[in-house]
Amino acid sequence: MSGLTSLASQGKGTIAVLLPDTASSTRYTQFDEPYLKKAFQTAGLSASQYSIVNASGSDQSQLTQAEQAITNGASVILLDGLDSGVGSTIEAKAKAAGVKVIDYDRLSLGGSAAYYVSFDNVKVGQLQGAGLVSCIARWGIKSPQVLEMDGASTDNNATLFAQGYNSVLTPLFATKALTKVAESPIANWGANGEGQTYFQQQFTAHPNINAVLTANDNLGGQVVTVLKAQKIPAKKVATTGQDASTTGLQNVLAGYQCMTVYKPIYQEAQASAALALYLRASQSPPKALINGASNNKTATAVPSILLTPISVIPSNMSSTVIKDGFVSASTLCAGAYAAACTANGINP
């Protein structure tokens, strides 16, 4: 980012970052906001040349924030839309005002973004599916009965995750190596406990469930809460996750969650900030920066930067999330998790 200071000096207008919420995942306040702030500052932008706001789960708030950004002179908007409805509306308003939009992390279906920056979300799902299959074998789970808890139906990323893990699981359902019990999207990504309620209902109706494809760590944690309340021991019900949250990582260490997916958000923030600086300076980004194209359900595919996610299990935590400073060893290994950390070479 420090190599882009001359580009930053050439730009006009401000860069406005619109983040979606604080409840579905802790990443937006813990990582995206500070990483983006650091990237802009390292490139030489002053505090008055960029803004970062969060819609706190409200479509209306996000729309209002976008309108204010346009009124206040934004030339580029980095948009992580709550859903494609509000996302496409914001993008139409921005386009009419001559403001460029970069879809950040989530693609707005039917929108008009100039670019899209995210992780390869189908790959995320493939890692989850493969992680569940590996864990079932590793934990010796017999006659696997699989429940799938998808992310929110309003989130295109959830659709892509499901595409990924179902590409792994569906052939195994067909051969009867695994049995699919049910699959359902969970409203709001379980932000209000919807995942816990759904799993409790399914586990009551189907007590033979012994594997759960949970689309993120928040949902995985809600499954674990039910399992612990019913005194189900570790390594009896395989679950998955995503986001490499501290709780998710600790559930992996404790043997309640098979794996999580780590997405190095600093890479996403830096790539998005760099792209925004090129657009702010009315320049085309280097071709080497763009490595894909994404279908947003319009006639033209969106040029994309798609980053690589990483599957995390106890044995590689030290070389991934700890090494990157995504979580500190002292936090991860506190209390009951100390022994598991020591066993896996994680030293506070």
Query: Which domains, from first to last, does the chain contain?
Result: 2-119+264-308 (3.40.50.2300), 121-262+311-343 (3.40.50.2300)
Pairwise CA distance, residues 92 & 49, whole Å: 23
Interaxial angle between packed helices 121-138 and 156-174, expressed in degrees from 0 to 180 and rounded to the nearest 10: 40
Residue 24: the pLDDT is: 77
**Which are the contacts of 261, defined by CB distance < 8 A and separation ≥ 6?**
124, 127, 128, 241, 242, 243, 244, 309, 310, 311, 312
Residue 25: the pLDDT is: 77
Residue 299: the pLDDT is: 87
Residue 136: the pLDDT is: 98
Residue pair 162/203 in contact (Cβ under 8 Å)? The answer is no
Residue pair 196/226 in contact (Cβ under 8 Å)? The answer is yes
Residue type, 117: V
Residue 83: the pLDDT is: 94
Residue 348: the pLDDT is: 78
Which residues of the chain fall below pLDDT 70?
Answer: none
Residue 89: the pLDDT is: 98
Residue 61: the pLDDT is: 98
DSSP string, 141-172: --S-EEEEEE--TT-HHHHHHHHHHHHHHHHH
Pairwise CA distance, residues 250 & 18, whole Å: 30
- Using one digit for the tens of pLDDT, what is the confidence trace for 49-106? 999 999 999 999 999 999 999 999 999 999 999 999 999 999 999 999 999 999 999 9
**E strands, the chain, in order:** 14-19, 50-54, 74-79, 100-104, 115-119, 145-150, 179-185, 211-214, 238-239, 260-262, 292-294, 302-307, 310-312
Residue 26: the pLDDT is: 81
